[in-house]
A and B are shown apart, each in its own frame.
Chain A
Amino acid sequence: MTALDNYVAPTSLEQAVVQLQELGEVTILAGGTDLMPQSHAGRVKFKRTLMNIRRIPELRGIVREGDAIRIGALTTISEMMAHPLVREHLPLLVSAGDHFASDQIRNAGTVGGNICNASPAGDTLVPLMVLDASVELASKPDDTLFRRSMPLPEFFVGPGKTRLAPAELLTAVRVPIPPKGFVARFHKFGTRPALDISAISIGVAGVLKDGKFSQVRVAFGAVAPTPVCGCATQEALEGKRLDAATIAAAAKAAQDEVHPISDVRASAWYRKEMIHNMTKRILEDVSANH
């Protein structure tokens, strides 16, 4: 293993992807809020080069592009929460951000970093999944800049593992503007609101029209090696009225489809119970308030 012996701070996307291609063994630094403690604890080993991407203007900013909001990878959680486009169109991300760590960490941690860390409990991942977000990736394998995008659920492979290629950079996350009648909820359950890694988290979204819930999206955090789609729960809800029977069936489907592990934060049994109870509570709340 080679030790960390090189530091680069590219000032454009072009420069960054060229360097990624040339240098090979690179650790990417964005907010640093995970990289610093993970590397100190020995859970992440630095590669030969540390690349600080915070000087790249193309990775900043939140803009509307057609029917979607594009959130630059370097957007901090605080910047995301304060942005008028996010507040108007994606309030779910504002409420999710409110449960994210602490003010100091929200001021440093980035949306792109939270995604690339690929923690099963990452606080923006479940909300972004139910919002149908996709990630934008860039690389430069030859003379031309190569860009591709990928739906968020496909991006995650395992804890800390993604489909990001070695010479590739995550440049942005793209979130479609939700349709009329769209409702969404995110619930994170831990022992205290601040600075806690969730024992479980649940995102529910869909369109409520004439009392019926459709285009349903459900996702769960911290119950599998990656954040996962609640596909059976979605099916139990799609096109239905949110009455007591439907809610009970959906909560049961949620409990049955998750396969969590026991760890320091909660036992598998407790996680399944919480998934059941919180799914029920969220759906009752949606039903009562619309």
Chain B
Amino acid sequence: MSQQTIDFTLNGVPTRVSVPVQMSALEMIRNVTGLTGTKYGCGEGECGACTILLDGVSLNSCLLFAVECDGRQVTTVEGLADDPLGRKIEKAFVDAGAVQCGFCTPGMVMQTRQLLEKNPHPSRCEIQRGIEGNLCRCTGYVKIVDAIEAASKE
């Protein structure tokens, strides 16, 4: 199996790892660098639980080859602790009770970060469109949309 050494920035920290070339970024983040905030849901890009930011743009880390992270900035949910907008979103999710089992939450928070960066004051409809790639099986989405709306109004 072919290994590849890659260098990238993970939540602001320069990181070097050696990974099999067919490994997903999700497997690398969870199993090689040990950051387990990013969740494995479906492995097919349907559920959004594994959403991360690559050079500030959201994508499904389960569909991303780890080798593609070479030379780039990777941000996971852990990295939002150092980000004012990220902290605001996390607080809004807690205040609105938008977290039940919590499994979709890291992905929802990351995609919200992307949405509010591009569109700081979205309508509820735009919020729903923004998180259409993220599944939640607990909340029925209302409280999640409430949380995102609240975060956008602060």
Contact = CB atoms under 8 A, between A and B. Distances in A.
Q: Do chains A and B interact in one complex?
A: yes
Interface of A: 3-7, 9, 29, 31-33, 35-37, 39-40, 46, 50, 52, 54, 78, 101-105, 107-108, 193-195
A193 B132 contact: yes
Contact of B2 (A6, A29, A39): A6
Contacts of A50: 2, 21-22, 65, 67
Query: Nearest 3 pairs between A and B by C-beta?
Result: A102-B133, A194-B132, A7-B21
Contacts of B122: none
Given A33-B45, A33-B63, A5 B57 contact: no
B43 interface: yes
Contacts, number: 89
B45 to A, nearest CB: 6
A41 to B, nearest CB: 8
B60 A104 contact: yes
Contacts of A6: 2
Given A33-B60, A40-B43, A103 B111 contact: yes
Interface string B126-154: 00001011100000000000000000000
A36 B24 CA distance: 8
Most buried by B among A33, A35, A103, A105: A103
A5 B44 contact: no
Given A4-B22, A36-B24, A37-B45, A103 B132 contact: yes
A7 B2 contact: yes
A31 B64 CA distance: 7
Contacts of B68: 29, 32, 52, 54
Interface string B12-47: 000000000110100000000000000000011110
A9 B24 CA distance: 16
B62 interface: yes
A105 B133 contact: yes
A4 B21 CA distance: 8
A102 B107 CA distance: 13
13 contacts: A5-B1, A6-B2, A32-B65, A33-B45, A37-B44, A50-B2, A52-B65, A101-B133, A102-B133, A103-B58, A103-B130, A104-B58, A195-B133
Nearest to A30: B68
Interface of B: 1-2, 4, 21-22, 24, 43-46, 48, 51, 57-60, 62-65, 67-68, 70, 111, 114-115, 130, 132-134
Nearest to A27: B22
B46 A104 contact: no
Given A36-B64, A37-B43, 6 more contacts: A4-B22, A7-B21, A37-B45, A105-B59, A108-B63, A194-B132
A6 B67 CA distance: 12
A29 B68 CA distance: 9
Contact of B114 (A5, A54, A103): A103
B63 A105 contact: yes
Most buried by B among A29, A37, A50: A37
B46 A195 contact: yes
Contacts of B62: 36
B45 A105 contact: yes
A9 B21 CA distance: 11
Contact of B58 (A7, A40, A107, A194): A107
Nearest to B70: A9
A89 to B, nearest CB: 23
Contacts of B115: 103
A239 B45 CA distance: 44
Contact of B63 (A4, A37, A103): A37
B59 A108 contact: yes
A193 B129 CA distance: 10
A40 B130 CA distance: 27
